[in-house]
Amino acid sequence: MMHLVIAMFLIAAGASLVACLAVVLVLRLRNERQARRARAARAALATPARLDAVLGPLTGRSFELRLPATTVGSVGGNHIVVPDSAVSRLHSLIRRTPAGLELSDLGATNGVWVNGERLRDALLLVPGDRLRVGESEFVFAIGRPPADENLGSSSP
């Protein structure tokens, strides 16, 4: 419904019908993408979740996300300690919400990157998301890691 209101406004403002349809299509696709992401995030709550380190000093390790809140940073006291000089002492937070596991940047100097884009606002994680903190990269996954990956596993 909102898409139609926007299209009518654009037509009234003098925009062409093609331009209005393009705007409506883009908004609709974005809403559908957000809805799919929200459904996937809620589904991830039903199974064990983890971060798999794929780049950086923790490569090959898996970190289960069982706590209500998991902190990531470069110093002891964090649930996931990343020995990387580009990682802030208290870099990011992953917390369980009714909607899913939500990632937040805690004001890190180098920021938190998800799928190649800098995180500006809290984001619900979905399986396959690639998180970058400093020079380290993790993949968000659900389920327990296979036995051969579990050797370096850490449980916050």
> Does 72 score more than 50 pLDDT?
yes
Q: Where are the alpha helices (H) located in the chain, listed in sequence order?
A: 2-12, 17-44
> Does 20 score more than 90 pLDDT?
no
Burial 100-125 (b: 16+ CB within 10 A, else e): bbbbebeebebbbbbeeeebeeebbb
pLDDT of residue 117: 96
Q: Given pLDDT bands bounded at 50, 70 and 90, which one contains residue 2?
A: low
How many Å separate Cα 137 from the centre of its chain? 12
> Does 125 score more than 50 pLDDT?
yes
